[in-house]
Chains A and B, each alone.
Chain A
Amino acid sequence: MTGDAKTAQAKEDEYVHKVYNEIAEHFSETRYKPWPIVTKFLDSRALGSVGIDVGCGNGKYLGINKDIFLIGSDRSDGLIKCAHEINGQYNVLVADGMNLPHRDETFDFAISIAVVHHWTTRERRVQAIRHILSKVRTGGQVLIYCWALEQGSSRRGYHEGMEQDVMVPWVLHKTKAETKDKSKSTTHNSTKNREKPDLSGVEPKDRAAFVAQWKKERQEARSIQQQQQQKEQEKANAEKENDASDATKYRFYHLYKEGELEEDCVSAGGSIVDHGYEKDNWYVITEKI
């Protein structure tokens, strides 16, 4: 392996493999809705077709079509465990996308949904697609989805002209006890209990001056108290910030621009059968020549 490949692999270990294991359970809870074009692709496979789902995550596509035999694999054992717990009948295994254990030139089809964009260099992305293609028979189709640079009105705000290699945050939800707002411990006095100056023993003529002085002292005391509260609030906010940065994990993505995924598939030795855009992603159906 070259030095460049080693560097790329180290980056993928840190910003892809490790992160997916850390966020697996939370990630899995958010991944249950199949994308329509993937469902359509799977439903249109012939009865008894045998295929692979490379980077199957929690296995949301493994149960779509009961008339095919689909083997899902993922680099993250955490996500594969989630898939197995969701449905013990899913065919899943832990494997690396660059060293797949599936027999070569055997499968009728393959899918790889939102996976190829995690490899950190173009060379490795093309290599990954070539490796998937090596598993399907001649004429076998591979459906690949990658995140798009052109995301229109999505909340992430990625668009043309931006840097394509990005670190995308994943914020882990903490448990209630951990996220409890610490600022709430400093409660303000309610108006009901507002203090009044004690005027007993003060001559009526002196009362106005007494009250004015009392108010001034109260004001000073209150401003000190407010400053203290503000400090406490800032401290609490800083603590919350620390909690949040601990719970934010970054994943590497290469955001594909229009036409790029087609180019990568052709470079990997596939022909283009279909391509398009769905839900902030570019997709290609490429065929083994």
Chain B
Amino acid sequence: MKLLTTNFLKCSVQSCDTSNDNFPLSYSAQSTLARDESIEFNAAFLLKILDRVDWPAVVTVAGELGNSGLPATKPVLSSGDVAQLGDDELALLRDLHVLLVQTTLVEGEMKCRNCGHTYYIKNGIPNLLLPPHLA
């Protein structure tokens, strides 16, 4: 599971929807990460993705998984057109590509901050099915 996916996942339990603590899920620091360098950098795609991600959630999840180097507020780039961006800005997009697209969670746990239910990631596949008493 790519790190980017964590920006779109909340707890499956519907009663947690009334809480603000069901997103992002809390990721275990013991999770196993991998990097897939074969995924090519697409600056225009990253620019769009940066625009739409929930930045505080990116910072929180990256921090839990050991990367505490992200700025607290979402970087604002000088243009929506990749051709107009400076080298520093392109380097930033490239860093985000490595973090969000190339970094994957292979084994690990994610927990709802509201109900405390734990979901597991095994062989790169997160399972968000609920046990019958929670469904």
> Is A213 in the interface zone, CB < 8 Å from B?
no
Q: Which residue of B lies closest to A100 (CB)?
A: B12
| Inter-chain pairs besides A77-B129, A99-B130, 12 sampled, C-beta below 8 Å | A47-B44, A48-B48, A48-B49, A69-B49, A91-B2, A92-B125, A94-B128, A95-B127, A95-B128, A98-B135, A101-B9, A104-B10
Of the four ranges (under 10, 10 to 19, 20 to 34, 35 or more), the interface on chain B belongs to: 20 to 34
Query: Complex: how many Å from CA A102 to CA B12?
Result: 8
B51 within 8 A of A: yes
Question: What are the residues of chain A within 8 A of B17 when measuring CB–CB?
Answer: 104
Q: Which A162-182 residues sit within 8 Å CB-CB of chain B?
A: none
Given known contacts A48-B47, A48-B48, A99-B12, A91 and B1 CB-to-CB distance under 8 angstroms:
yes
Q: How far is the CB of B120 from chain A (nearest CB, A)?
A: 10
On whether the beta carbons of A96 and B129 are closer than 8 Å, the reply is yes
A104 to chain B: closest residue by CB? B17
Contacts of B27 in A (CB 8 A): none
A contact residues, total (Cβ < 8 Å) = 32
Q: Which residues of B contact A84 (CB under 8 A)?
A: 123-125
Closest-by-CB residue of A relative to B49 is A48
Smallest Cβ-Cβ distance to B38: which chain A residue: A89
Q: Is A81 interfacial (CB-CB < 8 Å)?
A: yes
Residues of B within 8 A of A (CB): 1-2, 4-5, 8-14, 17, 23, 36, 38-39, 42, 44-45, 47-49, 51-52, 123-130, 135
CB-CB under 8 A for A102 and B8, given A47-B44, A48-B47, A67-B42: yes
Which residues of the other chain, A, contact B124 by a CB distance below 8 angstroms?
Answer: 84, 88
**A103 contacts B42, CB within 8 Å?**
no
The 9 A-B residue pairs whose C-beta atoms are closest, nearest first, are A48-B48, A101-B128, A94-B127, A101-B12, A95-B128, A99-B12, A93-B126, A101-B9, A103-B10
> Which residues of chain B are near A95, meaning CB under 8 Å?
12, 127-129
- Tell me if A19 counts as interface (CB < 8 A to partner B): no
Decide: B14 and A99 in contact? CB cutoff 8 A: yes
Tell me the complex Cα distance, A95–B42, Å: 29
Is there contact, CB below 8 Å, between B51 and A48?
Answer: yes
